[in-house]
Structure 1
């Protein structure tokens, strides 16, 4: 099993939440959560349904804004107060700096594999040839060479999730957010997908924040946060361990 290392503590956090609160009607999803996520860290957020873990992920990613508190992202240009951004600014931030992998992938079935991966770049204004060239690089790196022209319905569930990972990575995202990325997969395929996700993110010095119910997935991360009733119940980092799988850029080599 690969355990990815915690980033050095002297660097400023890439993400920081301070006393974040969020309610939906009478239900308080977040009740004053504070945490900091270091660059290069892999963080698993766990908890029972309704504990607030997905809401926390969405607040950190700027998908929703908190009712109170702050979220700060350390961009190349300096710190950005995400909760004070307009919807247009947050959309740009998500498009340029964040990547997303969801349980069902949310890929477009009418597009080919390479078109799905290239889509974020094309939306950002890249020429089709350049966008698809970058997409091909990531597909090859994630072990999907030869599947470029297939539709999503013509690939397996594990392959589709690796397509989703390639799409999340193609823009050069600093932080990857994943919500139950292995939840719809069998244990063996889930292990492969988690390896691909970690090795294409943390091994490159980027940051992974993943919501999961799976203790096996959490054990692969360098830190596990447990939530209960909208609060952090536990926050534990694991001892560093040498990475056992390498992401080589031109091809993903899996060690199982």
Structure 2
């Protein structure tokens, strides 16, 4: 039985003269946490975006293996199909959260489920439960500007999980946080993903964040140069 949740083969992507990806082969096991590290311009964010189906590689393929059903080759899907897959199966946490400031915390989280057709009342109830589980009980009606950076990132984590995401992609989720808050956010991120049997891919420049993951992938000049187990 294939235990992979994602398989990537010979991925390439160029921007002008820059080879952002230069033939990447990679397999991500279901339930593991993987940190992707590399210097600025190494290709790590491009790799995350290709694996998530946000952008399509020029050559190569990314195959997603859902828990049930047939494998799905992301690069063979059209833009709308990839968008639907991301909404329904994947979760995302970015450095700045990309939350909607005009909405409250619970509305930001509930919106992800409502877009997928869940009734508002049910989505809000589910969202409030995730916020409570992540230590934000009583803050449901606060707008994003009324939250600390760490609290806002936990709202983003709750939003990523609200749809039952099989796989969560995080791009520098602690990049704007101090070390103590960074640790708290990683606690929440790991608990809500691998702690629930889900899979986490995180791009980070922080060695302490990477060391919390079960595996570290090092990227340089668009190539994977190591993919060992974290210390």
Report the alpha carbon displacement of residue 170 of structure 1 after superposing the two structures with TM: 0.3
Q: How far apart, CA to CA, are the structure 1 residues paired with 2:131 and 2:41?
A: 35
Q: Is 1:133 matched with 2:125?
A: yes
Report the alpha carbon displacement of residue 165 of structure 1 after superposing the two structures with TM: 0.1
Q: How far apart, CA to CA, are the structure 2 residues paired with 1:24 and 1:130?
A: 43
1:14 aligned counterpart, secondary structure? strand
Q: How far apart, CA to CA, are the structure 2 residues paired with 1:199 and 1:130?
A: 23
Matches of residues 213-224 of structure 1 in structure 2 within 5 Å?
Answer: 213-224=205-216
Residue aligning to 1:152: 144
Q: Deviations over 1:130-172 (max 9, x none)?
A: 1101101100100100000110000111000000000000000
Q: How far apart, CA to CA, are the structure 2 residues paired with 1:11 and 1:160?
A: 36
Q: How far apart, CA to CA, are the structure 1 residues paired with 2:17 and 2:118?
A: 44
Q: How far apart, CA to CA, are the structure 2 residues paired with 1:28 and 1:213?
A: 20
**Preserved CA contact (<8 Å) 2:210 2:230:** no
Report the alpha carbon displacement of residue 124 of structure 1 after superposing the two structures with TM: 1.3
Residue aligning to 1:171: 163
Q: Deviations over 1:81-106 (max 9, x none)?
A: 00100001100100000000000000
Question: Alignment RMSD, CA only?
Answer: 0.9
Q: How far apart, CA to CA, are the structure 2 residues paired with 1:150 and 1:238?
A: 37
The alignment's TM-score, normalised by the length of structure 2, stands at 0.98
The alignment's TM-score, normalised by the length of structure 1, stands at 0.88
Report the alpha carbon displacement of residue 53 of structure 1 after superposing the two structures with TM: 0.2
Segments of structure 1 that go 5 or more residues without pairing to the other structure are: 1-9, 240-256
Q: How far apart, CA to CA, are the structure 2 residues paired with 1:211 and 1:82?
A: 20
Report the alpha carbon displacement of residue 11 of structure 1 after superposing the two structures with TM: 4.2
Q: Deviations over 1:199-225 (max 9, x none)?
A: 110011100000000000000000000
Q: How far apart, CA to CA, are the structure 2 residues paired with 1:174 and 1:143?
A: 22
Matches of residues 1-256 of structure 1 in structure 2 within 5 Å?
Answer: 11-75=2-66, 76-238=68-230
After TM superposition, which residue ranges in structure 1, 4 or more long, deviate above 2 angstroms? Answer: none
Q: How far apart, CA to CA, are the structure 2 residues paired with 1:77 and 1:235?
A: 28
Q: How far apart, CA to CA, are the structure 1 residues paired with 2:230 and 2:45?
A: 22
**Preserved CA contact (<8 Å) 2:13 2:57:** yes
Query: How many pairs were matched up?
Result: 230
Report the alpha carbon displacement of residue 12 of structure 1 after superposing the two structures with TM: 2.4
Report the alpha carbon displacement of residue 233 of structure 1 after superposing the two structures with TM: 1.1
Segments of structure 2 that go 5 or more residues without pairing to the other structure are: none
Report the alpha carbon displacement of residue 238 of structure 1 after superposing the two structures with TM: 3.8
